[in-house]
A and B are shown apart, each in its own frame.
Chain A
Amino acid sequence: MPIFVVAFSWLLPEHELWVHFSENLLSELVQSTLILLLGVGIGVTLLGTVLAYLVVMVEFPGRKWLEWALFLPFAIPAYVLAFVYLGVFDYAGYAQVWMREVLGLPGFDVRSGSWAIILTFVLVFYPYVYMMARASFKRQKLNMIEVSRLLGAGPLRTFFQVSLPLARPAVAAGLLVTLMETLADFGVVSLFNYDTFTTAIYSAWGDFRSIEVASQLASLLVLVAFFLIYFEKKARGQAKYYSADVTNKKPYHAKGVTAWFISLFVFSVFMLSFAMPMLQLILWGWESIAEEWSVKYIDLINSTVTLTILAALITVILATILALPSRCKKDSIWLKSVTRLATLGYALPGSVMAVGLLYGINQISIINIYFGGESVNHIIYGSITLLLFAYVSRFMAIAYSSIEASAQQIKPVFTQTARLLGASRIRLISKVYLPMMAPGILAGGLLVAVDVMKELPATYLLRPFGWDTLAIQTYELSAEGLFERAAVPALIMVLFGSLLMVVFQYLDKKSTR
């Protein structure tokens, strides 16, 4: 629905404002958005793939715990990492103060140019590529690597000519999720004062109160997102070179200086993307907890937890229904299209989702009033329905892909055996399908929960009065530069998120053992 609605906005142009936007801002927006996508794309591909290859294929000191620790940055929302780094490296931050006073170096503006924001995004989003590439490297047969070695290829040649081409679809999928997340991001870009399509949508809606221009900009964003989806599908379509056996044997054993160098490299990524920001958050939180903590935090935690649980539950239930193995699914074009449509939402930035939904409700009210009815705005705006709808459609794909993967392990023989033993359809689902899909369902639910908890753009636009979340509180305090105070809600959020990630990793470890 949001997609149709934003496309529909072109029929009701608000000419002057659109001309203002397109003449003064559009080319700059396109340029800055492209630079950001390019920088982040190259960065996450390099970092995510190299890290995944190292932890899967090479034995080095500390590999075991680093392999899991590298997932933890998932628990840190992008805007939290952004404000921590801004707080430390900004003109008044202690890194710059130290550089000026102790080293006598001139200060610099961390917000100028695009390198700092690109680095921040890379540190926060590399886990997407890391996660997918790691799974793909793990599925590669050890034999393949051994053959390559026996044919005289060294580690680098084996990486470039054998492992990497085989993992390419997974790397591409991870890269595209990253690019969509970057495109959809609102928190980081606004903290860095960096203009992209998403900030322009907010400006059109927030500053100019024009839902039409916001929708028109959003529709351009949808176009880019669809372009990315097309390539993602293409990349996945060729991904047929997987083998199922997962191996935990490492073909390479790093020794001496090389081993320690690899450890140091992987460890520094973990430090920069998780441990150091966490430490900073704890320090700031400790300093400001007395000032910041109040009863309202009980409400914030309450609404965050309620929204997270509700959204995760609804998403997982719907995704499970869609992913259940069914005989008709293979043949029914209708069922296939429903599944595809339901999982399209992940390409839709939260801002587009929100604008589309708001605009849609607005139009319904106008039509209603035209026919003598009343506006429905206050009913919908006052409840969490719209927000939950946005969460569910946005994160459906994450839950679906995780649940679908576990459903694929249910071979037709299981169904046939159960049927021959007299199991009804309901018994088949409850005793065979659901228990076999349980790890996938749980993992999908956890990933959705982490994402809902961090979600900012849609929550920001769609939350009803009295439903502020920890994410909103974190963003609002940090946008005012109150980093020490923002650390308190951020810390609560990251702790919850890390807990969920630890459970997720435990499940993942169990399934690949």
Chain B
Amino acid sequence: MLTVEDLTITYNNKKVLSNFNISLNQGDIFALLGDSGSGKSSALKFIAGLNTTSKGNVKLDGKRLSHNGEHLISPESREVGMVFQDYALFPHMSVEKNICFGISHQSKKIRQSRVKELLLLIDLPGIEKKYPHQLSGGEQQRVALARALAPSPKLLLLDEPFSSLDKSHREQLVAQVRDILKKARVTSILVTHDDQEATKFADIIGHINNKSLTIE
């Protein structure tokens, strides 16, 4: 279970978001809607432990991750996965190496079977040896998702992952990714500025309006 309390986001000493409180159960999919500059991506980064200028408390499965703005657990050990708008796949690694990056401590056998299993899940079997630049935008996005899911994170953060895809691909992928996340029972937060996308993807929707969050 994830709880975020009293999250305040500041840019250049100016408050853009305050009193941000959410509580999600395992497997919940939450969509966070807001205009650009409303602090929604910064909220995601804070939950991931990457942002240091904001304040708030984050708890995941009973473990305190951040308290009063101080990150008690580093991003490396949070068991939180993230998918970015531009995928951020490592261009010098094959699909297989990208997916295995977060599970390098496992044995080779386990790694290989995990890659197979995840490629089936994202419906792209047999592309292990391909490089990111050989894949289409939608394929790259799904590989980025597989990479984030590989270490079985307790929480998955998605920062506008569909925004650089064209409309027809986007609708298809939104449904596919939702299915994948539901199957894997991962708690997820999606940041987007597209109402329709949020409705199709999430169980719970939050809006950022006038520097505060309202939940539908």
**Which A residues form the contact surface with B (CB < 8 A)?**
141, 143-144, 146-154, 161-162, 165-166, 240-241, 243, 251, 253
Contacts and interface: CB of A to CB of B under 8 A. Distances in A.
A144 B144 CA distance: 11
B20 interface: no
Interface stretch (B60-68, B80-88, B121-129, B180-188): B80-88
A253 B74 CA distance: 11
A241 B88 CA distance: 11
B84 A149 contact: no
A154 B101 CA distance: 12
Contacts of A141: 86, 88
A152 B102 contact: yes
A151 B157 CA distance: 12
Contact of B78 (A143, A150, A154, A241): A150
Given A152-B151, A253-B52, A146 B75 contact: yes
Contacts of B150: 151
A216 to B, nearest CB: 43
Contact of B82 (A147, A240, A241): A147
Given A143-B84, A253-B52, A149 B90 contact: no
Interface residues of B, number: 25
A243 B77 CA distance: 28
A148 B50 contact: no
Contacts of B167: none
B88 A144 contact: yes
A143 B74 CA distance: 16
B40 interface: no
B92 A241 contact: yes
Given A148-B101, A151-B151, A153-B101, A143 B76 contact: no
B48 interface: yes
Nearest to B79: A152
B76 A146 contact: no
B88 A150 contact: no
Nearest to B147: A151
B92 A165 contact: yes
B50 A152 contact: no
A146 B90 contact: no
B37 interface: no
A341 to B, nearest CB: 32
7 contacts: A143-B84, A143-B88, A149-B75, A150-B78, A240-B91, A243-B86, A253-B52
B143 to A, nearest CB: 12
B76 A152 contact: yes
Nearest to B48: A150
Nearest to A238: B92
Give the most central of B77, B86, B92: most A CB within 10 Å: B92
Contacts of B80: 150
Contacts of A251: 50
B48 A151 contact: no
Interface in B89-124: 90-92, 101-102
B92 A151 contact: no
B86 A150 contact: no
Contacts of A165: 92
B82 A146 contact: yes
Give the most central of A144, A147, A240: most B CB within 10 Å: A147
A162 B45 CA distance: 20
Given A141-B86, A143-B86, A253-B52, A150 B81 contact: yes
B86 to A, nearest CB: 6
A148 B100 CA distance: 11
A171 B92 CA distance: 16
A390 to B, nearest CB: 40
A161 B147 CA distance: 16
Contact of B50 (A144, A146, A241): A146
Contacts of B77: 152
B92 A146 contact: no
B92 A149 contact: no
Contacts of A243: 86
Contact of A146 (B48, B74, B91, B151): B48
